A and B are shown apart, each in its own frame.
Chain A
C-alpha cells in the first residue's frame, strides 16, 4: 500500500499553477470581449443577444448581463471578439459595460481603506448559493483545489458566517432564498465585504424577469466586487479578489 501511495504521489506531481495572475488558459476561453470600430448592423446584434446585454451607439456589452455564449461574435466577428483575458472583476458596476479594448480593473479609490488593511493577508469567505445552478458553485470549489490553490494567498471558504469576513453570492436570488441570504449576511461580523459571483448574481441573468426572484437584498447592501462569467472562471475569481484586497502593487 505504501508503495502504491508513493506511485500515486509521483504521478500526481506538482499540479498547482505557479502564477495565477499571468497563466494562460487553454483552448478558446471566452473572457473579456473586445469591440472594434468596424461597421456592423448594431440592431441585429442587439436583437440577437439572448440576455439583452448589448446596447448601441456606440456598441457596448454589459458583462454583468452577458452569458458569454459568443453568439454575437459568431454573427459579427470583425466587430466583437472574445479574448482569453479572465481579469474581468471590478468594484464599479459601470466598468462591466465594455466597449473598445480596455482592461477591466478594480477602482482602487473606491475600495474602503479597511479592506486592504484587514483582509489583505487573510480573507475568509462564506458562499451562499441563492438559486445558483451549481456551475458557479463548482467553480468556486475549484478555486481551492490543487490546481488553483487560492489558500496560498490566505483566502479560504469557511463553513460558518461567524468565521467569515465576507459573503459571496451566486445565483439570481430566488424569493424562496431571500430571507436565508439576509440572515447569513447579518450573521457575518462587521466589517465585511460582499461579492457577487456570476452573471446570475450580478443581474439575474436569463432569469432577470422571473416573478420567482426577490433581489431586494442588493438594494440594501453595498457590493464590493462583481465577478462576471457563467460560470465564473476560477482565475477570474482569484484575480478579482486579489485585486480587491491587495490593491495596487
Chain B
C-alpha cells in the first residue's frame, strides 16, 4: 500500500503510515494523489528519526472527505526531486523542510528561508541578510516596508519592485514573530501549558487553534466530547469568525478612507468580542476551549444575552454593509483590485476565505467536518472574481451565514454539563491529523506520540502559510497605493506563520 486513508481527527498507529523510498513517494504524489482538483496538501513536514528524517505528507481529498497520508525516510544530505516543479503549492513546504534539516530539492525555483527558526539547519543565515529577488534596471525602483509597519500590527517585511507607481513584484519576508512554539509543545509537559500555547499561536484565532489542539488531544486520549460540548465549541468558532470579519470590514473601510464604515463596523465588533468576555471572561476567548472539558458551560442566561446582542447587531450590520457595497466611491477602490484568478488560487494551494473569494470552494466545515459540522451539510459561500471586493463581500455573506448557524446551534442545546477529565491516558505510538476551519481558513495540527504516550512531535500549520503567496501575487500590476487594501483583504497572520 502506498498511503493510508484516514478521516479528520482519526487516530492511527504511527507505524501504519506507509514508508516509501523517495522515488516512489514522489511518484504517488505526482501521478496519483495530487491529480484531482479536490486534492490539496494540508501538511508536509519532517520528523527527525534514527535513520535520518521522516517526511510525512498529508493530502486531503475534499470530494471523499478523507486525508491520504504517506511518508519517506531520507538523509539530511540528500537532494530530492522537487514536487514544487509540478505542483507550486509545495513551494513553502519544501522550503521549510530545507530550512529545518538542510535537505535539498532539485528543480525548486529558490529554496529561500521561511522563518529563521532557532533550530535552523544552517545557523549562518540571519534575518538581516535575506536573499531578496532583485532586478537590475535603471527604470525600476525598490520600496522596502517593515518589519515595523505604520499601524499597530505584527511585523513582517515587504519588498516591492515598482515601475513608477505600478508594482511588478512583491516579496514578503517573514520570521520576525518566531517564538519556537512547536519546540515548546514538547518542552512544556502539562496539558494546561499546551492548551495555553495553542491559544497563543495566533491571538486573533484563539478558538480555531485551541479547537484543533483539543481535537488532537481528545483523539489521542480516545475521548468523545459530549454533544453539548461540540455545540459550544462550534458556537465559539462561528462567533470568532463573525467578530473578526466585522473588524476586518472596518479595517478595509479605514484603508480606503471611508470613515463611516470604519467607525460603524468598528463599534459593531465590540459587542461581539464583549460577548466572549461575558461567556469566558476574555474578549479573545482565551481560556474558553480546554481539552476534555469546559470551564465555562453555556447557560440559558448566555443564550438570552446572545440573542439580545445579535438582535442589536444584525440590522445595523446589514444596513452598514448594504450602504458600503452600494457606494460607487467604495466599489471603484475594491473592484478589480488585487485579483487572484481561480486557477492561480488553486495552483498555489490557497485555502479558506481568500480561496473561496476566488471561487475555490475549500472549506473544512464542508469537506472534512468534525463535531457539530458532521450533522449539518454545510455549503461553502464563494465569490466569482477573487478581487478585494470579493474578499470583502464574502465576509458579509459569511457573517450572515454564521449568525444563522449559531442560532440553530443554540436552539439544539440541552445545557447538560458533561463530566470532565477522562484524559489521563494518551495512546502510545500514535498519529493524528486535525483540521479546523478557522475564520482565515484551514488550520492543521499533527501530533505523534512515542512508546510511553509522550508527545514526540507536534506540527502546526496556520492557513496563512498557504495564503501569503496569494497576497504577493494579488498585488502584481496594481498601484502601490492599493497595497494596504489588498493586505487588509487577506488579513493574514504573521505569528501563525512564524510560530
Contact = CB atoms under 8 A, between A and B. Distances in A.
A184 B148 contact: yes
Contacts of B181: 207
Contact of B495 (A12, A82, A131): A131
Interface in B43-84: none
B227 to A, nearest CB: 23
Contact of A209 (B187, B284, B494): B187
Interface in A96-153: 127-142, 145-147
Contacts of A157: 151-152
Interface in A1-53: 1, 4-5, 7-9, 11-12, 15, 25-30, 48, 50-51
Interface string A56-75: 00000000000111110010
A30 B282 contact: yes
A92 interface: no
Given A129-B154, A135-B204, A211 B279 contact: no
Contacts of B119: 211
B495 A5 contact: no
* Residue with the greatest number of chain A CB neighbours at <10 A, chosen from B177, B181, B278: B177
B152 A145 contact: no
Nearest to A141: B152
B113 to A, nearest CB: 11
* Residue with the greatest number of chain B CB neighbours at <10 A, chosen from A15, A50, A135, A145: A135
B248 to A, nearest CB: 11
Interface stretch (B98-106, B266-274, B351-359, B398-406): B266-274
B287 A26 contact: no
A228 interface: no
Given A132-B495, A145-B270, A8 B323 contact: yes
Given A67-B196, A145-B266, A177-B147, A135 B286 contact: yes
B277 interface: yes
A212 B266 CA distance: 35
B144 to A, nearest CB: 12
A172 interface: yes
Contact of A28 (B154, B179, B190, B278): B278
Interface in B425-484: none
Contact of B176 (A9, A15, A68, A180): A180
Q: How large is the interface on A (under 10, 10 to 19, 20 to 34, 35 or more residues)?
A: 35 or more
B323 A133 contact: no
* Residue with the greatest number of chain A CB neighbours at <10 A, chosen from B152, B192, B195, B326: B152
Given A132-B495, A210-B118, A176 B154 contact: no
Contact of A134 (B202, B264, B316): B202
Given A67-B196, A209-B187, A231-B284, A180 B155 contact: yes
A8 B320 contact: yes
A35 to B, nearest CB: 18
A218 interface: no
A240 interface: no
Contacts of B151: 141, 157, 159
Given A82-B281, A206-B200, A1 B327 contact: yes
Contact of B148 (A7, A128, A200, A210): A128
Given A26-B277, A176-B178, A177-B177, A210 B184 contact: yes
A177 B176 contact: yes
A233 B117 CA distance: 31
Given A129-B153, A211-B118, A176 B200 contact: no
Contacts of A5: 260, 323
Nearest to A159: B150
B241 to A, nearest CB: 15
B206 interface: yes
A130 B155 contact: yes
A175 B327 CA distance: 46
B178 A131 contact: yes
A68 B280 CA distance: 11
A12 B184 contact: no
A212 B295 contact: no
A230 B281 CA distance: 11
* Residue with the greatest number of chain A CB neighbours at <10 A, chosen from B190, B283, B287: B283
A69 B263 contact: no
B267 A146 contact: yes
Nearest to A140: B152
B127 A28 contact: no
B378 to A, nearest CB: 27
A4 B323 contact: yes
B267 A15 contact: yes
Given A30-B281, A48-B192, A129-B177, 16 more contacts: A1-B326, A1-B327, A11-B315, A15-B270, A29-B281, A30-B282, A129-B152, A131-B178, A135-B204, A140-B152, A141-B152, A159-B151, A177-B147, A211-B183, A212-B179, A213-B179
Q: Ordered nearest first, which 5 A-B pairs have the shortest CB separation?
A: A135-B203, A27-B278, A133-B203, A212-B180, A159-B150
30 contacts: A1-B326, A11-B315, A11-B319, A12-B267, A12-B316, A27-B277, A27-B278, A27-B279, A30-B287, A68-B282, A68-B286, A71-B295, A130-B155, A131-B498, A132-B203, A137-B153, A141-B152, A146-B263, A146-B267, A147-B270, A157-B151, A174-B178, A180-B148, A200-B200, A209-B184, A209-B187, A210-B118, A210-B183, A210-B184, A230-B282
Interface of B: 115-119, 127-128, 147-148, 150-155, 175-181, 183-184, 187-188, 190, 192-193, 195-197, 200-204, 206, 247, 260, 263-264, 266-267, 270, 274, 277-284, 286-287, 295, 315-316, 319-320, 323, 326-327, 493-495, 498
